[in-house]
Amino acid sequence: MADRSSNKSSPPAAGTFRLGRRAGRILWLACLLVPPILFFVVFLVVPIASALIYSLFEWQGIARAGFAGLANFRQLLFEQPWQDWTTNAFWHNVIVFITLMIVQNGVALVLAYVLGGEPRGTRFYQVVFFLPVTLALVLVGFQWKLFLNPLFGVVNKLLDAVGLEALSQPWLGQTSTALMTLILVNAWRWLGFPTIVFLAGIRTIPREYFEAARLDGANEWHVARHITWPLIAPAVTIIVILTFIGSFNWFDLPFVMAGLDGPPGKATDVLGLYFYRTAFGEVSAGLQDFGLGSALAVLMFLFILAVSIVWTRVLRGREVELS
Amino acid sequence: MRPHRPGIRWTSSSLIQLLLITNTVLVLYPILMMGLSAFKSTPELFRNPFGLPENWNLANFIKVWERTNFPLYFRNSLIVTSGAVLLILVLGVMAAYALARYRFRGNELLYLFFLSGLMIPLRLAVIPLFIQLKAMGLINNHLGLICIYGAQGLPSAVFILTGFLRTLPSDLEDAARIDSASELQILLRIMLPLTRPALVIVAIYNLVPVWNDFFFPLVFLQKESLKTLPLGLTVFMGQYSTDWAVLFAGLSLAALPVVVVYIFMSRQFIAGLTAGALK
C-alpha cells in the first residue's frame, strides 16, 4: 500500500548543513505537521478510543455512571431480548453481504469482462453504468420506495402491463421480500462501482497474454478462467473487502425505505439500524443507552476489522505479481 | 485507442451490445422516469405513469423551490461540503508535504499513523463524537460536521497526496532554494500547482460522499434551518407524502446538480470515486 521507494526521490533536506537554518526547519515542519496531527487526534483517535472505554460503563442519558465491566457486552450477546435482536440483525447483514457478492459483484464482473473487450461504445457505457454511484442513497431509496408502492408504484404497474399481475406484490411490506428488495435497490445504486474497478483490473493485463492463449487454442471460457480471473485478483480483493465493510455498515437505505425499526416485524433490521436505535433511542420508546450502543459499536468494529484483516491476508495470497 | 486491449474476440458482438444496452436501460430508465414524473400532475402520474408528460409543466419544481426549505437545504449542503473539502485539502497538503518532501525521524511512523484511519468507519465512534461535540458546543452547528468529515477524509488525503508528492522531481525545489526562496514560497508557488491532479482526486473522493451523507447530519443536526439536502429530503418526503408529482420534482432537483456536474466531469468523478479501490 505505502510507496516504499519514497526516500529515493526525497530531496536533501534544506539547511541540513547550515546550523542557523536548522531551527527554522524544525519550526517549519512543526507548522506543517502539528495542525493535522492535532485535528486527527481530537476528531478520530480520541473518539475511537473513547468508544472502547464507554462500552465498559453504565450510562444515564449522556452522563457516565458506574463501571460495568463487560456487562454491556453480556447483555447484547446473552440476555433476552437483546440476544435475539443482535443475532437477527447480524444474520441480515450476512445475507446482505452474500447477496451483494452474488448479484451485484457477479453482474459487475460479467459487465467488466465484456467491456474489457472494448466493444463499440465502451466509454459511453462506462459513464452510464457509473452514474447511480454518484446519487445519494437517501435519494435513491425514496425514488425506489415510490416506484415500489404496492398501489401506485410503477413496478407493479409494469408487471400488470406485461401480463405478470401474479407477480405484483407489496415488495417492501411483506417479510418474505422486504430485505431482498432493499438489497436489489442497493445493487442498482452500486453496480457501477465494482464494474469500473474490475474493468481497471482487466486493463492492466497485457494483451499479449490473451493473444498467446488464443494462439494455443484456448477458448473464451479458458481465457476468462485462467487468465483474466487470476490476474484481476487485486481488484477482487478490494471489492470483497469494501462490499463486506459496506454490508456491515448498511444504514441509509433500510432507514429511508423501511424504517428505523426494521419493518415489517424486524425483517429488514440490520446492525446499523439496531446500533442507532440502541444509542439514540427507539422511535416509539425514546430510550437510549450509550453504554449498550458503545458495546455494540465495539463488537461491530472488532468484527469488521478482524474479518477484513484475515480476508485481506487470504485473498492477497492468490494474487499474482505481474512483472 | 486504449493501450491494453485484452483482445477478446467475440463471435457475436450483437449479443454483447444487447447485454450492455439492457443494463443501460436498467440504469437510465428509473432516473428518466423520476425526471419525467416531475413534470406531470399527480393525477396524470397515476393515469399515465410510463408516457411522456402531456405538457411540460414546471409547477411542481416552482412549488418545491418556493414553498419548501429546499433552497435552504441546498445552501447548507454547499456550506458543509465546501468547508469539509477545503479543510481536508489544507490539512492533507500540510501533512503530506512534510511527510513526502522532508526526511526526519519518525516520518514513516507518522505516515502509518495517519493511514491507520483508512480502515476505520468513523460512524461507529458516533457516541463519543456526540458527547465531545456537545461539550465543544458544536451540536447543531455546521462546523461540527465539517470537523467530522475532515477527520474522516484526512487519512485518504494523506495517502493520495503523499504518494503523489513523492513522485515530483526535486530540481525545481532545489533551484528555488538556491534563489533563496522561503520554504512557504516553495510550497505555495512551486509544489502546490504541480499537485493539482492529486488535489482534484482528493476533492472528488470526498465531495460526493460528503454531499450525499445522511448519517452524521441525522445525528448532529436537529434544527430545521441547518439541515443538509439528504436530511432535508426526509422532512420533505414526509410533508408532501400524498403529492407524488411534487415528491418526484424534489428528488429530481436534488439529483440534478450531481448529475449535471457528473456529465461534464465523468472522467474525474470515476477516477476520484474509485481512487480508494485502485492503486
Provide the β-strand partners of residue A60.
Answer: A63
* N residues, chain B: 279
pLDDT of residue A103: 96
Is the Cβ pair A211, B102 closer than 8 Å? Answer: no
Domains and CATH numbers, chain A: 14-73 (no CATH), 74-317 (1.10.3720.10)
Q: State the ipTM, two decimals.
A: 0.90
Which one is predicted more confidently, B50 or B61? B61
pLDDT (tens digit, 9 = 90+) per residue, B147-195?
A: 999 999 999 999 999 999 999 988 888 888 888 888 899 999 999 999 9
3-state secondary structure of A63: strand
Mutate to test the interface with A, among B48, B124, B167, B218 (most CBs of A within 10 A): B124
Please state whether beta strands A63-67 and A57-60 pair in parallel, antiparallel, or not at all (unpaired).
antiparallel
Is the Cβ pair A50, B244 closer than 8 Å? Answer: no
Residue of chain B with shortest Cα separation from A297: B124
Report phi then psi at A66, rounded to 5.
-70, 165
pLDDT of residue A15: 44
| Mean pLDDT value across chain B | 90
How open is the CA angle A265-B233-A255, to the nearest 5 degrees?
20
Is the Cβ pair A132, B112 closer than 8 Å? Answer: no
Domains and CATH numbers, chain B: 13-57 (no CATH), 82-243+259-273 (1.10.3720.10)
Provide the β-strand partners of residue A67.
Answer: A57
Residues 98-157 of B with CB under 8 A from A: 98, 100-104, 110-115, 117, 119-132, 134, 147-148, 150-152, 154
| Contact between B236 and B250 (Cβ < 8 Å) | yes
How open is the CA angle A32-A38-A39, to the nearest 5 degrees?
100
pLDDT (tens digit, 9 = 90+) per residue, B196-217?
A: 999 999 999 999 999 999 999 9
Q: What is the pLDDT along chain A (323 residues), one digit of tens a residue?
A: 344 444 444 444 544 445 567 888 899 999 999 999 999 999 999 999 999 999 999 988 778 888 998 999 999 999 999 999 999 999 999 999 999 999 999 999 999 999 998 999 999 999 999 999 999 999 999 999 999 999 889 999 999 999 998 999 999 999 999 999 999 999 999 999 999 999 999 999 998 888 898 888 888 888 899 999 999 998 999 999 999 999 999 999 999 999 999 989 899 999 999 999 999 876 455 568 899 999 999 999 999 999 998 998 888 887 766 54
pLDDT of residue B10: 47
List the grid coordinates of A6.
519514497
Is the Cβ pair A130, B269 closer than 8 Å? Answer: yes
Q: Which residues of B touch A310 (CB under 8 A)?
A: none
What pTM does this model have? Answer: 0.90
Pick B20's closest partner by Cβ from A33, A114, A207: A114
Is the Cβ pair B102, A13 closer than 8 Å? Answer: yes
3-state secondary structure of A11: coil
pLDDT (tens digit, 9 = 90+) per residue, B14-52?
A: 889 999 999 999 999 999 999 999 999 999 988 888 889
**B233-241 average pLDDT score:** 91
Pick A11's closest partner by Cβ from B101, B122, B277: B101
Task: Provide the H-helix boundaries in chain B.
Answer: 13-37, 42-47, 59-67, 70-101, 107-115, 126-135, 142-167, 171-178, 183-185, 192-194, 196-212, 215-220, 229-239, 244-264, 266-273
